Amino acid sequence: MNKYLNNLYLDLKNKYPLEKEYLNAVNEFFISINDLVTNNPEFEKSNIIKSMIYPDRVISFKVIWEDRFGKNQVNTGYRIQFNQALGPYKGGTRFTKNVNESILKFLAFEQTFKNSLTGIPMGGAKGGSDFDPIDKTELEIKRFSKSYMRELFKYLGPTQDIPAGDIGVSKEEIGYMYGEYKKLTNRHDGVLTSKDPSYGGSLVRTESTGFGICYMAEIALKKYHNTTLKNKKIVISGTGNVGMNIAKKAHELGALVVAMSNITGVISNDNGLDINFLANHFNPNNNLEEYLNHDKKAKFSKNLKDIWKIKTDIAIPAATQNELDINDAVNLTNNNILALVEGANMPSTLDAINHFTENKTLFIPSKAANAGGVLVSGLEMHQNAIFARWSFDKVDLKLKESMNHIFNDIYNLAKENNDEYNLLKYANIISFLRIYEAMKHQDL
């Protein structure tokens, strides 16, 4: 790695030696921009990159809430406002027990570059809490969400910071938080996205990340293999909102979803799973083994890694970060997959990504593939700002057009450099240059 970038990385590592997710994200980014920085001394001279890898603001606070037994409980809430060079901070909110500062810094860092790729003037942020909604009652979730907003609201605004939903935060939690925000501020503005359409949410927002992944997969398959999703076999890790909407749209486009997984295990059927049944009867935490009662030809495995051993055309890791390692990548390339499309944020390890690149396997990185969620959040902000409500078809068309535009920008630059199988590198370069120019002109 370039000496300048290496020193920046070592400084960061010395300050935050235990924050591996954050460090991995910065390391991956530095690898992508290494040649660009080496060949252009301006980047080192300005030292803007150093500012770019540190968050503008790390906000943490105590969240006190009353449980079902009338006893006060305490969790930690966070908001990482990473970079606002391109526009107000924008990024999701997740409630899961494994939330910590490192994970949120990594997500906010990635969000900054993902938002840059969309072309919409948005900065990057991420937030959440180590509150675990899985074993909580609806009343407890409501109490926690309101208490979380009572601490967070002072840092938010439609031109300041606009959170959205994420893992553990659906439109129900967003509704509780927005209601509390309105009580505290006496304002009805577009300070949250992922809202229910009844009070300003955008149609397609729930489906947007999953649908966008399929739209990008379609155009990529056309460019690289002159084909479409029709009749292609797909495996998807994760049965949450993203995974299930990938499955629905892929099924609609004629693909066969032959395997899906969640924390309980993997279900598979080489002739295709019943996606409508899964969507109607399963939530992300249901035991997938129960699906066998519906489909006698299906198989179940408790080993989550087995999903990457199944013969498939397209693999979509859509569960969590670093879920797909080098061994999984080798299994997939040995089975001659057409494409690996990242659904979750950075679900592939760096070793796995390098393996796909070296083997000229079409690899679509998460910052491009799953940008559909923030794209429609941007469209929701637009509708809120002009007091409009667009139809499902209008938003869906804008989503599809934008995903195509993002892919073409990355693909064309990769092709220009005779490096078509390194889309991650050029996604990082495009988003980096946009943010760099904005920071330079604003003296940030």
Alpha-carbon span 307 to 315, nearest angstrom: 9
Closest Cα partner for 29 from 326, 317, 353, 377? 353
Q: Are residues 323 and 359 in the same domain?
A: yes
User: What average pLDDT is seen over the chain?
Assistant: 97
How buried is residue 153: exposed, middle or buried, by Cβ count under 10 Å (0-12/13-18/19+)? Answer: middle
Q: Two tokens at 107?
A: 């997500």
The whole-number average pLDDT for the span 343-353 is: 95
Q: Are residues 38 and 64 in the same domain?
A: no
Query: Does residue 108 fall inside a structural domain?
Result: yes
Query: Does residue 375 fall inside a structural domain?
Result: no
From 37, 52, 67, the end of a domain falls on 52
Query: Does residue 43 fall inside a structural domain?
Result: yes
* Among the ranges given (160-164, 228-232, 320-324), the one the predictor scored with the smallest mean pLDDT: 320-324
pLDDT tens for 270-297 read 999 999 999 998 877 789 999 999 999 9
Q: What would the 3-class secondary structure string for 22-68 be?
A: HHHHHHHHHHHHHHHHHCCCHHHHHCHHHHHCCCCEEEEEEEEEECC
The pLDDT, as a whole number, for residue 78 is 98
Q: What are phi and psi of 320, to 5 degrees?
A: -155, 175
Alpha-carbon span 171 to 176, nearest angstrom: 9
Its domain, for residue 36, covers 3-52
Q: Two tokens at 152?
A: 């967070």
Alpha-carbon span 366 to 25, nearest angstrom: 12
The pLDDT, as a whole number, for residue 286 is 84
The pLDDT, as a whole number, for residue 397 is 98
CATH value at residue 68: 3.40.50.10860
Q: Are residues 323 and 174 in the same domain?
A: no
Q: Two tokens at 389?
A: 């409500």
Q: C-alpha angle 231/257/286, rounded to 5°?
A: 170
Alpha-carbon span 89 to 376, nearest angstrom: 15
Which own/partner pairs from 429-434 qualify as long-range (CB within 8 Å, at least 24 positions apart)? 429/32, 429/33, 429/36, 430/116, 430/117, 431/112, 431/113, 431/114, 431/116, 431/117, 431/367, 432/29, 432/32, 432/33, 432/36, 432/52, 432/113, 432/116, 434/86, 434/116
Tell me if residue 126 is catalytic.
yes
pLDDT tens for 18-48 read 999 999 999 999 999 999 999 999 999 999 9
Q: What are phi and psi of 202, to 5 degrees?
A: -90, 140
The whole-number average pLDDT for the span 366-392 is: 97
Q: Is the pLDDT of residue 319 over 80?
A: yes
Query: Does residue 416 fall inside a structural domain?
Result: no
Query: Does residue 407 fall inside a structural domain?
Result: no
CATH value at residue 329: 3.40.50.720
Alpha-carbon span 382 to 379, nearest angstrom: 5
Q: Two tokens at 101?
A: 């500062």
Alpha-carbon span 17 to 355, nearest angstrom: 27
Q: Are residues 89 and 136 in the same domain?
A: yes
Query: Does residue 395 fall inside a structural domain?
Result: no
Alpha-carbon span 265 to 351, nearest angstrom: 24
Query: Does residue 316 fall inside a structural domain?
Result: yes
pLDDT tens for 85-122 read 999 999 999 999 999 999 999 999 999 999 999 999 99
Q: Are residues 216 and 298 in the same domain?
A: yes
Q: Are residues 170 and 239 in the same domain?
A: no
The pLDDT, as a whole number, for residue 77 is 98
Q: Are residues 41 and 68 in the same domain?
A: no
Q: Are residues 45 and 61 in the same domain?
A: no
The pLDDT, as a whole number, for residue 179 is 98
Q: C-alpha angle 79/84/90, rounded to 5°?
A: 50
pTM: 0.95
Q: Are residues 337 and 255 in the same domain?
A: yes
- Starting from the edge strand earliest in sequence, which strands make up the sheet with 265-268, in order? 299-301, 265-268, 256-262, 233-237, 314-317, 339-341, 362-364
Q: Is the pLDDT of residue 427 over 80?
A: yes
The pLDDT, as a whole number, for residue 283 is 77
In the set 90, 126, 195, 233, the catalytic residue is 126
Contact 108, 125 (CB under 8 A): yes
Q: Is the pLDDT of residue 172 over 90?
A: yes
Please report how many Cα atoms fall inside a 13 Å half-sphere around the Cα of residue 380, on the Cβ side: 31
Q: Are residues 140 and 219 in the same domain?
A: no
The whole-number average pLDDT for the span 147-159 is: 97
Query: Does residue 385 fall inside a structural domain?
Result: no
Domain count, the chain: 3
Q: Is the pLDDT of residue 136 over 90?
A: yes
From 161, 189, 217, the end of a domain falls on 189
Taken as a whole, the chain contains a residue count of: 444
Q: Are residues 35 and 91 in the same domain?
A: no
Q: Are residues 178 and 149 in the same domain?
A: yes
Alpha-carbon span 81 to 124, nearest angstrom: 7
